[in-house]
Structure 1
Amino acid sequence: MRAATTLSVLVLGAGGIGHAVVTSLDTGIDRVDAFKDMKNRPDAGHGLNLLLVGTDGRDRITEAERQKYRLGGAPCHCTDTIMLVHLSEDGKRASVVSLPRDSYAEIPAHTDSTTGKKHKAHPVKINAAYAEGGPNLTVRTVEHMTGVKISHYLEVDFTSFMKTVDTIGGVEICTPRALKDSYTGLDLTPGTHRLDGGQALQYVRSRHIDGNADLSRMQRQQRFVAALISRATSNGVLLNPVKFRDVTRALLGSVRADAGFGAQQLLSLNKAMRGFSPSSSEFTSVPLLAKGVSLPGIGSTVKWDPEKSKKLFRALREDKPLALPGPSVPRDPAAGPAPGAAGAPGPSAAPPASVPPPAASKAPGTAAAGAPSAAPSAAASAAPPGAPSAAPKAALVDVKPADIRVQVYNATRTDGLGKQVDDALRATGFRTTGAPLAAGVRDVKRTQVLYDPRWDRSARSLAAALPGSELRAVKGQGGTLKVMAGSEYRTVAPVRVEATPAGRFEAMTGDQVACP
C-alpha cells in the first residue's frame, strides 16, 4: 500500500530539476541487491518496469502516530502491497497493475534469507516471497509469474508515505459512500475530503470496509495514486525545484531501492515525462478466477485468470495501453473488486462520481437507487391496442442477478404472491431459494429489500429489478437478501451488467477515477 506513493517520485521527476539537487537526494536511499545472481530472466521488452513494494515495517513511527492511526501490532515482514508500474518508452503513459497479496504463487527454489535453509520450488501466497527471500526472491517470483522483466525495485514504509503526502499539502479523495473501518480508524462521510499523511495511510490500509477486503483496498490504493498524480500536477510541485526537493526527500528518506535506481534515472524520467497528467496513467488489477485455492498451513489464496492475465502482461511487454479506447464511465472505488476478481460479481458500470448513488445507510422508506419507474412510458401508453410492445430496456446494475441469492417473503394477505415474486425474480436470473415464506407481518404495502450493509451493491441491483421498492439495511443478516413482497408489487423489471469484451481485463485512466 505504501508502494503507491513511490509513484510520486516518477511523477515529480517531470519538473525541471538540476542534477545537483537530485544527486543530493540520491545519497539518502537505502540500497538492496534485488537482482543478485538472477538467471534466465524474461526479455526486456519496451519501456521501463518498476516493482513497487510496500512492507508492513513500522520502526520509524512515533508512539503518538501509532496510537492515533492505529498502527499497533507486530509486523509480518512480508509485502502488504505489490504494484507493477510500466512506463511507456515514449514517456507518455504509466500503467499500474496491482498484484493481490494473497495470489497463489509458485515460489522458485531459493535459500531462506533468515534461516539459511535451502528450499525447493513450492506454492505460497505471493507476499510470502519477501519473508522467505527478501527483495531478490520477490523479484524472481513476480518475473516468473508475469513474464515481465523488472527494471528497478522500490520499497516504501509508513513514514515516507505520510511525510510525502503532508509535504505536497494533502491529497483530495472523493467517495460517494461512507467509508468506515474500525481497525484503521478510517471514517469518511460521502463527499470530498482532503487527507493528510496519517489519514491517507488509513485510507490505503483499510480492508474491513466491506466483504471484499483486499480486493476493494487495491482499488482504493489505485484511486489514491490517481489523486496523488492529480495533486502533484496541479499545485506546482513539478515545476518548483524546492517543492520537488522537499517531497522527494520525504519519500526517499525511508525508501529502499536497487543500486541502479538513482539520480540519473530521476533525470531521465524528468526529461521523458514532461506534460504527465492523471489521464496519462491507467490502473488495473490482475484478473482473477471466481474460485481460489486453499493451501495446507497457508490458507485461502486467489488464482489469476490464465487467459486474461496472459493478455495483460503481454500488453505490458509490448508497451501497449491497457485501457480500452473510447469514453468510459468512472467506477466507484467503494463498489468492491473489479470485474473478474475473486469475490467480484462480474463486470459492472458504476454511475459517474458526480452523480453518487445513495449510501447503504439510507433511511428506510427511500426509493431504491436506479429503480425503474413503475409507470409505463409515454411511448408505451400511446401504442394502439393489440400492437406488440417493445421489450423494456434492461437497467444497468453493479451485480449480475446470478450472483445474488434471494429469499422471498409474502408480506400481504394475498395468497400466492410470494411464489409469483419468486418465480419472476428467478426468471430474471436471480438465485432465489424457490421456497417463498410467509412474513411475520401481512400488511406491507411497499415491497422492501432487506440486506446486510456489506452487500449493499447487491441490494441496489436487486431493488432496481423491483420498481418502487425500498432498501432497509439489517446488520448481520449475511449474504442472502430478503424481499418482503408488498401489496403494491406489480412486476420484476429486467436488469443487466455491462459486458466486458471476451478475454479482456478491465482498466481505467487516472482522470476517470480521480475526483471530478
Structure 2
Amino acid sequence: MRRITVALTLLAALVSGSYAGSRAVSDERESPGGGRGTNILVVGIDSRAGLSAAEKERLHVGGKGCNCTDVIMLVHLSANQRRASIVSLPRDSYVQYAGDPATTAAGGPARSGKINGAFARGAGPLTVRTVEKVTGLRIDHYLETGFTGFEQAVDNLGGATVCTDKPLKDSGSGLDIPAGAHHTDGNGALRYVRARHVTPPGDLGRVRRQQRMVNDLLARLTAEGALSGPVDTARTARTLLRSVRTDDRTELVDLVRVGWALGRLRPENIELATVPIRLFDHRVPGVGSTLVWDEARSAALWNALSADRPITGDPRIQPVPETPVKTNPALIAVRVDDPVVAEALRRNGFAVTHSSPSAPPVRPDGPPVISHAPGREADAATLAAALPSARLQPVAHHDRFLDVAVGTRPVEVKTVTYDRNTAEGAPVTGNTLRCPSPPKPPAPAHTSNR
C-alpha cells in the first residue's frame, strides 16, 4: 500500500506540472528560528554487524565497530531551491545528547559525549533529536547507510571521483592513491572518505574529503542528466534507495523533490562547510579526545541556516584575518641568521633557531632568501607570508629546517594568522572544491578475428 501511495503521489505531481512549485511551497517548514527551507540529515554508520570475514577484509573494516555514526552531514536546501548548504558535523564533536523520554520524565540530567554516540544510545531517532538540540534546526528528512550500503550506492550511481594534491596512504582505511584525480568504485570511495591517518590528520581533513567527493558526485550526476527532470531524478532516487534507509517521514517523492532541486543548482550555489571548532583535543574522562565547537561561530552558522541565509562570506562564521596562512607556524622549524628577525618570527609563533653565528660577514644584496627542501612549499609559503619581500629557493637534500638568509634590504615581518578551521573546513562553494577531471581510460584496442 505504501508503495502504491508513493507512486500515485509522484505521478499526480508530475502530471499536474506543479511539482517544482506548489509541492516545494507546501514542504517548507519553519525552524525554531523562524526561517524556512528543508533540512536533511545524512549519516553513515560504523557497524560491522552482519558482515562476513571476507566482507570485512574487502572493505578494510576489520576493527571493532562502535555502532555509531561515522559520517554526519546536514544538507539545507533553501526555500527558493536556489542554494544548498552542506555542513559536516565531525564525529568527535562533544555535545549534550537529547534526553530520552524516560530520563526526562524522571528529571535526570541529559548525558554528554561524542555526537556519534547518539546513534549507539538511540539509533536514528536520538541522532536526529540530538542534532536538532545542538543546532536549533528541525530535521525534515533522514538518510542512513552503512559500509556496504555506501559501497553499493556509489557503485549503483556509476562510481565517484576522488582527488589529492599529494599521495595518500592510510593503513587504517586501506587507502593508497597517488596524487591527482581518480575515478573509483564504491570500495575505493569508502577508503577515501574513511581515512583519518593522513595529512591533515583527524576529523577535519577527513570530512573535507567527504565533502569533496559528495560535491563531485553531485556534479557528475547533474552533467550526466541523472537529475535533469523529475523522471530521471526518480530513477536515480530509486537507485539510491536500494542501499540507503530513510525515516518514516521521507518518501520517494521527497527525495525526487530534493534531488531535482540539487540538479538545477550551479556549483557556486552549493556551499560546503564544517562546524567551526574551538578546542581540537578536549580530553574528557571516560570519553577521550573530543572536539569542542566554537560557540559564537557555530551559533552564527546555525542562525544563518535557520534564517535561510548563505553561509559563505559571513565573517561571523568565518572571520577574515589580514594575513591568513594554511599551515601552522608552530610546526615549522626555522633557522634565521639575524637576531631581530628571529625574535619577530618567534613572537609570530614560528619554531625559531637563532643562527647568527653562521651568517656571512657581508650580507648579500637584496631581500631575504628562504631556502627549503622540495615538498615543503606550503610551509615555505606560510613563512613567506610573514616575510612578504622574501624570495623562495628550493634546495635538493635540504634538511627539515627552513633557512632565512637576511640580505641588505630592510625586512618587514607581518603577523600571520593560522586558523585550522580556515585551512580545513571554512565555508566554500562547490566550484572552488571541485576535483579536476580524472584522465579518461584508454580506448580498448581493436582486435581482428582473422
TM-score computed with the length of structure 2 as normaliser:
0.73
Displacement of 1:63: 5.1
**In 2, are the aligned partners of 1:447 and 1:489 still within 8 Å (CA)?**
no
Larger % of helix: which?
2
User: In structure 1, what is the equivalent of residue 148 of structure 2?
Assistant: 159
User: In structure 1, what is the equivalent of residue 401 of structure 2?
Assistant: 482
User: In structure 2, what is the equivalent of residue 370 of structure 1?
Assistant: none
Select which of 238, 244, 249 maps to 1:260. Answer: 249
Residue 427 of structure 2 is aligned to residue 507 of structure 1: yes
User: In structure 1, what is the equivalent of residue 382 of structure 2?
Assistant: 461
C-alpha change, 1:189 and 1:309, in structure 2 (3 Å) is same
C-alpha change, 1:112 and 1:102, in structure 2 (3 Å) is farther
Residue 306 of structure 2 is aligned to residue 317 of structure 1: yes
**In 1, are the aligned partners of 2:162 and 2:192 still within 8 Å (CA)?**
no
Residues 417-456 of structure 1 show CA distances to partners (whole Å, capped at 9, x for unaligned) of 36466235336x24345655989xxxxx9864479x8x97
Mapping 1:81-96, distance limit 5 Å: 81-96=71-86
Select which of 117, 135, 140 maps to 2:129. Answer: 140
> Over the residues paired in the alignment, what is the CA RMSD in angstroms?
4.2
User: CA–CA distance in 2 between the matches of 1:473 and 1:255?
Assistant: 50
Mapping 1:219-368, distance limit 5 Å: 219-239=208-228, 247-269=236-258, 272=261, 275-290=264-279, 292-324=281-313
Report which stretch shifted further, 56-65 or 138-147. Answer: 56-65
User: In structure 1, what is the equivalent of residue 3 of structure 2?
Assistant: none
Structure 1 gaps, min length 5: 1-16, 23-40, 326-338, 341-345, 349-393, 410-416, 440-444
Displacement of 1:50: 1.3
User: CA–CA distance in 2 between the matches of 1:473 and 1:214?
Assistant: 33
User: In structure 1, what is the equivalent of residue 342 of structure 2?
Assistant: 422
**In 2, are the aligned partners of 1:61 and 1:158 still within 8 Å (CA)?**
no
User: In structure 2, what is the equivalent of residue 431 of structure 1?
Assistant: 350
Residues 53-86 of structure 1 show CA distances to partners (whole Å, capped at 9, x for unaligned) of 1111244656555324412122100111111111
| Partner SS state of residue 42, structure 1 | coil
Which one scores higher on RCO, CA 8 angstroms, separation ≥ 6? 1
C-alpha change, 1:291 and 1:255, in structure 2 (3 Å) is closer
| Partner SS state of residue 188, structure 2 | helix
User: CA–CA distance in 2 between the matches of 1:468 and 1:506?
Assistant: 27
C-alpha change, 1:498 and 1:109, in structure 2 (3 Å) is closer
Q: Which amino acid aligns with 2:345?
A: L
Q: Which amino acid aligns with 1:470?
A: P
**In 1, are the aligned partners of 2:163 and 2:181 still within 8 Å (CA)?**
yes
Displacement of 1:469: 3.6
C-alpha change, 1:492 and 1:59, in structure 2 (3 Å) is farther
Q: Which amino acid aligns with 1:398?
A: K
Q: Which amino acid aligns with 1:84?
A: L
**In 1, are the aligned partners of 2:230 and 2:260 still within 8 Å (CA)?**
no
Q: Which amino acid aligns with 1:97?
A: V
| Partner SS state of residue 153, structure 1 | strand
| Partner SS state of residue 100, structure 1 | coil
User: CA–CA distance in 1 between the matches of 2:408 and 2:157?
Assistant: 54
User: CA–CA distance in 1 between the matches of 2:35 and 2:76?
Assistant: 11
**In 1, are the aligned partners of 2:237 and 2:255 still within 8 Å (CA)?**
no
Select which of 183, 186, 196 maps to 1:194. Answer: 183
Q: Which amino acid aligns with 2:335?
A: V
Structure 2 gaps, min length 5: 1-8, 15-30, 359-363, 437-450
Mapping 1:71-86, distance limit 5 Å: 71-86=61-76
User: In structure 2, what is the equivalent of residue 470 of structure 1?
Assistant: 394
Mapping 1:105-116, distance limit 5 Å: 105-110=95-100
Residues 80-137 of structure 1 show CA distances to partners (whole Å, capped at 9, x for unaligned) of 1111111111112111111111111112332799xxx996312211111111122222
**In 1, are the aligned partners of 2:173 and 2:191 still within 8 Å (CA)?**
yes
User: CA–CA distance in 1 between the matches of 2:63 and 2:112?
Assistant: 27
C-alpha change, 1:486 and 1:324, in structure 2 (3 Å) is closer
C-alpha change, 1:291 and 1:280, in structure 2 (3 Å) is closer
Q: Which amino acid aligns with 1:408?
A: R
User: In structure 2, what is the equivalent of residue 4 of structure 1?
Assistant: none
Select which of 185, 208, 212 maps to 2:197. Answer: 208
C-alpha change, 1:179 and 1:274, in structure 2 (3 Å) is closer
User: CA–CA distance in 2 between the matches of 1:206 and 1:252?
Assistant: 26
Displacement of 1:173: 3.0
**In 2, are the aligned partners of 1:463 and 1:470 still within 8 Å (CA)?**
no
Residues 266-288 of structure 1 show CA distances to partners (whole Å, capped at 9, x for unaligned) of 34436655623433311111111
User: CA–CA distance in 2 between the matches of 1:395 and 1:44?
Assistant: 37
**In 2, are the aligned partners of 1:108 and 1:120 still within 8 Å (CA)?**
no
| Partner SS state of residue 259, structure 1 | coil
Displacement of 1:508: 1.3
Residues 319-373 of structure 1 show CA distances to partners (whole Å, capped at 9, x for unaligned) of 1111229xxxxxxxxxxxxx97xxxxx969xxxxxxxxxxxxxxxxxxxxxxxxx
Displacement of 1:514: 0.8
User: CA–CA distance in 2 between the matches of 1:60 and 1:180?
Assistant: 28
User: In structure 1, what is the equivalent of residue 443 of structure 2?
Assistant: none
**In 2, are the aligned partners of 1:176 and 1:191 still within 8 Å (CA)?**
yes
**In 2, are the aligned partners of 1:206 and 1:217 still within 8 Å (CA)?**
yes
Residue 323 of structure 2 is aligned to residue 399 of structure 1: no
User: CA–CA distance in 1 between the matches of 2:65 and 2:129?
Assistant: 23
**In 1, are the aligned partners of 2:237 and 2:256 still within 8 Å (CA)?**
no
User: CA–CA distance in 2 between the matches of 1:47 and 1:240?
Assistant: 21
**In 1, are the aligned partners of 2:328 and 2:418 still within 8 Å (CA)?**
no
Select which of 46, 59, 71 maps to 1:56. Answer: 46
Residues 444-479 of structure 1 show CA distances to partners (whole Å, capped at 9, x for unaligned) of x9864479x8x97445423664523436799xx9xx
Report which stretch shifted further, 135-144 or 306-315. Answer: 135-144
**In 1, are the aligned partners of 2:34 and 2:307 still within 8 Å (CA)?**
no
C-alpha change, 1:314 and 1:434, in structure 2 (3 Å) is same
Q: Which amino acid aligns with 1:462?
A: L
Q: What percent identity do the matched residue pairs reach?
A: 36
